[in-house]
A and B are shown apart, each in its own frame.
Chain A
C-alpha cells in the first residue's frame, strides 16, 4: 500500500512528473524564443512562475459554482499523475502491467479536457463557457482518429492490449514506427496529440487574443497553478506515451537510455515546431480537418495494419 502511494506521489508519479514537466515547459519556451530569434527565459522560469502563482490571491467569481470551480483543477492533476505513473511503471517494469492498461490510459487522457470543461463552465463567465464548448467540440474531433491510430500497434502486435506486452514486442521485433501503417498512424497520433495538448494550430479553446484564455479566464492563484502544472505535465507525458506506443520506449541500459531520451526530445521539438510555424484554426476548420483527412489517414493505417505492411 505504502509502495503504491509512494509510486503515485513521488517517483514515477506526481513529484517526478512535475519536475520534469517544468523542465519540458522551459524547453518549449526556450525553443519558441530561439525560433523567434530571442534569448528566452532562464532555466528556473517555470519554478518561479509556479511559486509566484501559489502566492497570489485566489478569487472565486460571484455566481460561479464554488466547489466545482475549485475541484476541477484537482481532477485534471490527479488524472495526469495517474497516467504518468502507469506509463513509467510500464517502462521500468514491463511485466507488471495489467490487462487493458492501454484503455485506462486513453480514458484518463480524456478526463483532462473534461476537467477543463467543467471548470470553465463553473466559472460563470460567457467567454469561459465559449472556450469550454470549443474544447468539447475539439474532443469529439480528435478522439476518433487518436484511438484508431493507437489501434494500429495493437493490430500489428497481434491483438495485445497490455502496454507492457506492446513494449516487449517492440524490443524483440521492431518498433511499430518501422512499417508503413506505423508511419501513417504516427503522423495521425502527432496531430491528435497537438490538439490534446491545446497547442497552436488547435488552441482555439483558449485563444488568448479572442476569448482571453477561454476556460482558464477566471482562475487565479493556486487553482491556476494547478492548471498550469497539469499543462506542463501533459507536455511531458503525452510525447512519452507516443514514444512508448510507436518508437519502442526507453530501454534502461547504458547507451540505450541516451537513445531513448533523444527520441523523446526529437518528438518534443517536432511538437514545438508545429506550434511555432502555424496559425490558429477556427473550430469548424479543425473539426473538418479531424473528421476528414485525419480520420481517413487513420482508417488507411488500420487497413494497412490488417494487410500486414
Chain B
C-alpha cells in the first residue's frame, strides 16, 4: 500500500451535499461527530469547501434543481475523491422514486463508491460504511 493511500485512509475530510433530503440523514451525519461517536478519532472532519474534501457525502434523492450542481461539485473536487450516497433516498430514490422532480438517485448522476441504506441510517451504519471504505482503499 502506498504512503499516499495510507495517509488518505487516516485523514478523510468530508464535504456534505444536500440534494433535496428531508434533513434527517444530515443530522445523523453530524451525529457521528458528537462525543458519543467522535469520528475525529480517525481523522475524519467536516470541511466547508469542496476543494479541501476527500469524500463527497450526498444525502437525499437528487432533485432536478440539485442535479447540475452536484455534477459541477464532482468536477470541481480535487481527485482522488470518494463519493458516498447516504440514506435510502440517495441510494435508490426511496419514496420519491417515481415523483416528477426526481433527477435520479445519485449513481445515475455521478459514480458512487459506497451506499448507506436506512431512513435515516444510524450513526453505526455510517461508521460501518467508513470501515468498508478503508477496506476498499488499497
Interface residues of A (CB under 8 A from B): 29, 33, 36-42, 44-45, 48-49, 51-52, 55-59, 208-209, 212-213, 216-221, 224
Contacts and interface: CB of A to CB of B under 8 A. Distances in A.
B78 A41 contact: no
Contacts of B48: 208-209, 212-213, 217
13 contacts: A33-B38, A38-B38, A38-B41, A39-B40, A40-B40, A41-B40, A42-B43, A59-B51, A209-B48, A217-B48, A217-B51, A218-B49, A224-B51
Interface of B: 3-4, 7-8, 10-11, 34-35, 38, 40-43, 47-49, 51-52, 54, 76, 78-80
B54 A52 contact: yes
Contacts, number: 80
B1 to A, nearest CB: 13
Given A38-B35, A39-B41, A57-B78, A217 B54 contact: no
Contacts of A40: 38, 40-41
A48 B35 contact: no
A56, A58, A216, A219 — which one has the most chain B CB atoms within 10 A of its CB? A56
A45 B43 contact: yes
A55 B8 CA distance: 8
A48 B11 contact: yes
A134 B52 CA distance: 21
A208 B43 CA distance: 18
Contact of A38 (B7, B10, B40, B52): B40
A38 B79 CA distance: 31
A49 B51 contact: no
A39 B51 contact: no
A130 B38 CA distance: 32
B40 A217 contact: no
Contacts of A49: 7, 11, 43
Given A48-B43, A224-B51, 9 more contacts: A39-B38, A39-B41, A51-B7, A55-B7, A209-B48, A213-B52, A217-B49, A219-B51, A220-B52
Contacts of B78: 56-59, 220-221
B103 to A, nearest CB: 25
Contacts of A37: 35
A125 B11 CA distance: 27
Contacts of B11: 45, 48-49, 52
A51 B4 contact: yes
A58 B52 CA distance: 10
B66 to A, nearest CB: 18
A89 B3 CA distance: 35
Given A52-B8, A52-B11, A220 B51 contact: yes
A24 to B, nearest CB: 17
Contacts of A218: 49, 51
B49 A57 contact: no
Nearest to A48: B10
A220 B51 CA distance: 5
